[in-house]
Chains A and B, each alone.
Chain A
Amino acid sequence: MAEETHMSAATQVVGSGALGPAFDSVLTAAQAGAPWALRLLYEEVSPAVCGYARGQGADDPEGLVNETFMRAFRRIGDFAGGPAQFRSWVFTIARNLLIDERRRHSRRVIETSVEQHLEDRETVASAEETAMEAVSEAAVIALLHRLPADQRDVLLMRLVGDLTVAQIAEALGRSVGAVKALQRRGLRRLQAAVAKGGAPL
């Protein structure tokens, strides 16, 4: 009976999105340890985190997503806030994990392994399309790494994570004005790189 209730609630929540109006009930259930609520939160946010990890050139983006949500769910009992804060919080965890990873590896050259990208892609189209897409993705990542880390953070959170400027400011611990400036400078750099023919678009 309780499981049915949970499933009903989960169905309603799925209809509106875990980070929508029903976020409070989902969060309460997740803090109580309900699997359905945890799954909803994971499914809602993990793609964006994965995209962010890819854009940051993480060694293992999916692994980083796993670790991010493991940490988030372990500490979810301490979380307080709305859906925007939850998204910012998860991205903060992901960013911290990335920083840790970079510290471990120090500076390393971005490798554009086509084979690895081919393996990682879940949705496989034709071999030619996939290969071209992987090459394109690797080029985009290489282009993003021409940006300073903070500008890359802002653009990825904005473009991939769908965070607002205010949410990014919260995730990075910076002011809204600083985030806007980073975003503007990042776009200008990308624009200059594209103008030089740096991206295979």
Chain B
Amino acid sequence: MSPLDVLRLVKGRLDDPTAEALIMGHAVADQQLAALLAQVRALKPAAAVVPRDELSMLLRDGLAAPAPAPARPAATRHHADVRYPWVSRLAVVAAPHAKKLLLAATARAAAPARRLGAAGAVRYRWVSRLAVVAAPQAMKLLLAATAVAAATAGGLAAAGALPESIQDWATHVVGRVIAPLFDADEEPAPLTMRAIGSHALEKEPGGGRDATTPSSDSDIDEEHRPRIKDRFQREPDDSDADRQHRRRDDDADRDRDDDDAQGDRDDDDAERDRDDDDAEGDRDDDDAERDRDDDAERDRDDDEEERHRDGDDRDGGDDDSDDRDESDDDRSSDREEPEHEEPEVEEPEVEEPDVDEPDEPDVEGADESDHDTD
């Protein structure tokens, strides 16, 4: 034992090199301890332990092949059949966040399109519909969210866990409403938002009519198909004469609305001209008259605000088409009232007139169907 080792022992500690030396068998500090460690090492048998029972079989036969993956649930299979497996994946994974996803997708599309600040600043339904109209890119996200909503209609986490009746319902929404839209055209069809909006997307679980738990597939068809058909297809028994008659009435209504709107605009223009003339004349006056210029300026602002208010009151935009469309919407809302009388329609938001975009063909379709219901 070296003097340094003695010093370490006296100090009552072993530094790492000494410990390592002992561990590795190079005992330099303490022969007794080294011998003890050698005894500890001897605990390890020289040969492998004889395997027993199951391990013996495993070492003889090897590991069994991994079990095949369990079959996918019916709902997921159906989604894959419609060639959009990402929809089903999203539906299963993001199920608890369906509404957030929908809001995010729609708000992203709606915000730049309509200069809306945030999803929270606008109504949920309105944004979701506007999103489809404004941004085709949002369509896939929206439809994915639709699938999510369908999968979670029963408040369940995974599509595979859905009861059969709800699976049927989700299958209906995803397979018969969403998938055909992709098959027909990558661009979002006007029918889409109407159909989805009035059915699966905005149906809160537990709220209103219990459309999430149809008793059978036939119930689904009875419940959902007629509404889509009523909105976007003409009734088969509708005569051409009736349709032409109603169309003439609509044209007349539209003309009257256009005339009213034109008259309003003429009045506004005349008033604006008068204000402008006054302001122009005021600018020619001396400094003492400048206060009146300010008054006239304020008047113009007031008039402009008033015009805006008038426009808002008419539910219209700034141009003729908006006025006409808004008047159409007014008529549409009036004509859609009979749909409320149908037992399966209990969502008043569906009928709100401010959700349709002016250029939407579905407005036309909706008008026609609405005419039919008149």
Residues of A within 8 A of B62 (CB): 33-35, 38
The reply to whether A184 and B36 contact each other, CB–CB distance below 8 Å, is no
A69 in contact with B64 (CB, 8 Å): no
Q: A46-B48, A140-B39, A184-B16 are in contact. Are A159 and B58 (CB under 8 A)?
A: no
**Chain B interface: which of A9-17, A97-105, A106-114, A191-199?**
A191-199
Stretch at the interface among A19-27, A58-66, A79-87: A58-66
Question: A199 and B44 in contact (CB under 8 A), knowing A184-B14, A187-B22?
Answer: no
Q: How far is the CA of A69 from the CA of B57 in the complex (A)?
A: 12
Chain A residues, CB < 8 A from B22: 187
Considering the complex, which residues of chain B in the window 326-372 have a beta carbon less than 8 Å from any beta carbon of chain A? none
A51 touches B52 (CB 8 A): no
Query: Which of B27-35, B78-86, B246-254, B289-297 is near enough to bind chain A?
Result: B27-35
Within A45-104, which residues are at the interface with B (CB < 8 Å)? 46-48, 50-52, 54-55, 61-63, 65-66, 69-70, 73-74, 76-77
Nearest-neighbour CB distance to chain B for A195, whole angstroms, equals 7
Query: Which residue, A77, A123, A159, has most C-beta atoms of chain B within 10 A?
Result: A159
Shortest distance between the CB of B61 and any CB in chain A (Å): 6
CB of A150 closer than 8 Å to a CB of B:
no
B14 pairs with A66, CB closer than 8 A: no
Q: What 1/0 flags go to B38-60 for Cβ under 8 Å of A?
A: 01111111111111111100111
- Flag whether A174 is at the interface (Cβ < 8 A): no
A2–chain B nearest beta-carbon distance, Å: 12
Q: Do A65 and B49 form a contact, CB below 8 Å, given A47-B44, A55-B43?
A: yes
Q: A160 vs B22: C-alpha distance in the bound complex, in angstroms? A: 13
Q: Is B12 an interface residue (CB 8 A)?
A: yes
B48 to chain A, nearest CB (A): 4
Interface set, chain A 127-164, CB cutoff 8 A to B: 136-137, 140-141, 143-144, 155-156, 158-160
- Contact indicator A136/B36 (Cβ below 8 Å): no
Nearest CB of chain B from residue A80's CB, rounded to whole Å? 17
Interface size class of A (residues with CB under 8 A): 35 or more
The count of residues in chain B whose C-beta lies closer than 8 Å to any C-beta of chain A is 40
Q: Judging by beta carbons under 8 Å apart, are B36 and A122 in contact?
A: no
Pairwise interchain contact B47-A66, C-beta atoms closer than 8 A: no
Contacts of A54 in B (CB 8 A): 43
Chain B nearest Cβ from A162, distance in angstroms:
8
Flag if A42 contacts B43 (CB, 8 Å). no
B26 interfacial by beta-carbon distance below 8 Å: no
Contacting residues, chain B, for A34 (C-beta < 8 A): 62
Q: Let me know if A33 and B65 touch, CB within 8 A.
A: yes
Q: A33-B65, A43-B48, A73-B63 are in contact. List 6 more A-B contacts (CB 8 A).
A: A42-B59, A54-B43, A63-B52, A69-B55, A73-B58, A191-B14
Q: Give me the interface of A with B, judged by CB distance under 8 Å.
A: 30, 32-35, 38-39, 42-43, 46-48, 50-52, 54-55, 61-63, 65-66, 69-70, 73-74, 76-77, 122-123, 136-137, 140-141, 143-144, 155-156, 158-160, 180, 183-184, 187-188, 190-191, 194-195, 199, 201
Nearest 5 Cβ contacts at the A-B interface: A51-B44, A33-B63, A35-B62, A51-B43, A43-B48
